[in-house]
Structure 1
Amino acid sequence: MPVRPSPQTASPGAAPATARPTVASYNEWDPLEEVIVGTARGAARVAFEPALAAYYPLGDPERNFGGAPFPQEDIDRAERQLDAFALRLEKEGVTVRRPEPVMHHEGYTTPDFAAANGHAQTCPRDVLLVIGDRIIEVPMAQRGRFFEYRAYRRLVKEYFAAGAQWVAAPRPQLAEETYVPGYTTEDTYYDFADHPALTEFEPLFDAASFTRCGRDIFCQPDVVTNRFGIDWLRRYLGPEFNVHIVQFSDRYPQHIDTTLVPLRPGLALTNPERPFKDDMADFFTESGWRLVDAVPSVRTGPPSTRDVSNWISTNILMLNPETAVVEAAEEPLTDLFRSLGIDVIECEFDAVFRFGGSFHCCTLDIRRQGELQSYFG
């Protein structure tokens, strides 16, 4: 069914009301009205490639692994949890859309690289960036995710037909020049800032490397996002937005949504295992923000676990400034939120983790109430 703006009513004789944009989202906390929830159907494990080198030191025999389908029972269990999550959002009054499953089991070749197979369409937050009424297809650094945008094209075309802006960042080549040769995360190169995984050959970024606070957008250069990509987005958005680079002490950073998690104006979770390396903490606190240490997940193993971060607990979705969706087993985080005056909706989601993330990763805000504002002095 085509997506159309919600009709507006007006009293007799009044000027026509302006229809609310179909796509409108400026931050991570305003009341959620419409969202895309991903799917695990069609998912596969990507083969080793240069963009994954951060997680496999030189000499690690697992650098030779090839791609493979996920076991069907894992897909089915994850999909049941995704379906239950989508149903719960609908019960909360949120319109939920789902992508079209794309089978990622086949390999593909471009003029610049070959991939044994693709990955999934479980995490729309990685692939698309919504800022206001703009939907941006991002230039992802992983070869196995090159065609992932295809799962969302039907939805994006509907949103465009209903008035949204739609742009694709420059499609990357992902050639050998894109990656730092022989990249490793051995102790010699512990400081990521001094030894990035990507060159500046072309603009690259995942959407989940950015978090939105109205006119101020925060991002970190990481294993899938380079400064060329940040510069491209900054120039595209123009002076209406301030794109800030934030750096944390993190051996292999990827995405910001388990490191800096805005909850509402003036309140954000931070990761005590990944402290700020720059003065951005002062930028927040001097603007009246409270930064609260998150708690690690009870679902996962030690920090070396490759399938999922041990901070997956913080990958939450804010339905509004007073309500968060939290994984059902994460009682320490639930207790923390309630101490902050935030209600919690608990959903089981552990089967979804291995497909790329939790509630924030597996959703994409399409429309939230509220307008563009500045939350910093």
Structure 2
Amino acid sequence: MTLNSYDEWSRLNEVVVGTATNYTAHDRELSFDLFFHDNLKGRSEWYYPRLAAAGTQTDARVRHRIKDRYLDELNEDVEGIVDTLRALDVTVHRPMTLDVSSVEVRTLAWSAAVVPPLNVRDIALVVGDEVIETPPMLRSRYFETQFLKPIFASYFGEGARWSVMPRPLMTDRSFDPSYVLSTTGGPIEPIRHPRAHPYDVGLEMMWDGAQCLRLGRDLVVNIATENHAMACDWLERHLNGRFRIHRAYKLSDSHIDSMVLPLAPGLSVAPDLVLVNDACPELARILERNRFQVVPVRHRHRRLFGGGFHCFTLDMVREGGPEDYFS
């Protein structure tokens, strides 16, 4: 189990696939509304009902329960992805599951409904022989990397590097809301003025691993807020001399992999093989016309649970190395 992952396309040998066990609720609070602002617009109100009447705002934290049916279907889809990867001779590692008694995460400054380690792409970045735990943008995910500790420890025992980016306090004034407030139509709920808190320290670094595309020695990082920029500064200094950072500004609100994935010199499972959601037949046809082998997999309720099956996976071992594609 030697950690080695430099790109998004070389042959995949080992991967972490998240788990949705006991995913029961979301808390509608500031960090949730900022992160899911696009999902909260009118077309998705059946997933996330309004908290307040139009033209007003609310300071209340509201817990939104998830229907058992949606969770059951999500679990079926995740296990289907696991089965597909194993059938392709990929070793699949799984995080610890969320215990049913762990319903809330609490810090000095706030509390939120805890969520299980489903979208593991977000909470860590693997660059070569190093895994970096990233500072979350959602309060509910503050301790989510704890579920992956046994996996990271195993790779560390085999010689991998293991780092943790600085953790934010995440008071209201830690967040830069400028991107959300500037988007057409704005969020479904008005974003309230940030409340003062004894632990305010100003804007802080917040950044998910899914904001980075890995291209051998080069990393393309999406930046939409000051929170992202501060985290990218840390990453650039930390990786200095080993990787080159290229900043893409406002390509998306946060996760670059929701907009762009590299398809050359190959794809995410092997150089000629890609997994595609079976709800996207046109994408499958386009890839097939370009001589890619497509493996359809099922994934429902992407908006409700905040990610696709790329988000559910964290590549740990690929056959590629620190190639230089840009010199």
**TM-score normalised by structure 1 residue count:** 0.72
Partners of 1:152 and 1:183 in 2: CA distance: 31
Match of 2:6 in 1: 26
Note the C-alpha offset of 1:351. 4.2
Partners of 1:60 and 1:264 in 2: CA distance: 48
Match of 1:86 in 2: 82
- After the TM superposition, which parts of structure 1 deviate over 4 Å for at least 4 consecutive aligned residues? 56-65, 181-184, 186-190, 197-200
2:179/2:225 contact within 8 Å kept? no
Written as runs of structure 1 = structure 2, the 5 A alignment for 1:32-43 is 32-43=12-23
AA partner of residue 96 (structure 1)? V
1:81/1:351 contact within 8 Å kept? no
AA partner of residue 136 (structure 1)? I
228 and 84 in structure 1: CA distance in 2 versus 1, 3 angstrom threshold: same
Note the C-alpha offset of 1:188. 8.0
| CA-based RMSD | 2.9
Partners of 2:288 and 2:178 in 1: CA distance: 46
Match of 1:159 in 2: 155
103 and 176 in structure 1: CA distance in 2 versus 1, 3 angstrom threshold: same
AA partner of residue 144 (structure 1)? S
Written as runs of structure 1 = structure 2, the 5 A alignment for 1:316-335 is 318-335=268-285
* Total equivalences in the alignment: 298
In the alignment, structure 1 residue 222 sits paired with structure 2 residue 172:
no
Written as runs of structure 1 = structure 2, the 5 A alignment for 1:1-377 is 5=1, 22-54=2-34, 55=37, 59=55, 64=60, 66-103=62-99, 106-111=103-108, 113-180=109-176, 185=181, 201-222=203-224, 225-248=227-250, 250=252, 253-265=253-265, 318-351=268-301, 354-377=304-327
The 3-state SS of whatever aligns with 1:33 is: strand
1:220/1:247 contact within 8 Å kept? yes
1:49/1:142 contact within 8 Å kept? no
1:66/1:116 contact within 8 Å kept? no
Gaps of 5+ in 2: 42-53, 187-192, 195-200
**TM-score normalised by structure 2 residue count:** 0.82
Note the C-alpha offset of 1:223. 5.8
2:136/2:206 contact within 8 Å kept? yes
1:84-124 C-alpha deviation (Å, 9 max, x unpaired) = 2111111111000111111476223312x222312231111
Q: Which has the higher relative contact order, 1 or 2, with Cα contacts under 8 A spaced 6 or more apart?
A: 2
Note the C-alpha offset of 1:201. 2.7
Indicate the percent of aligned positions where both proteins have the same amino acid: 29
The 3-state SS of whatever aligns with 1:261 is: coil
Note the C-alpha offset of 1:352. 5.5
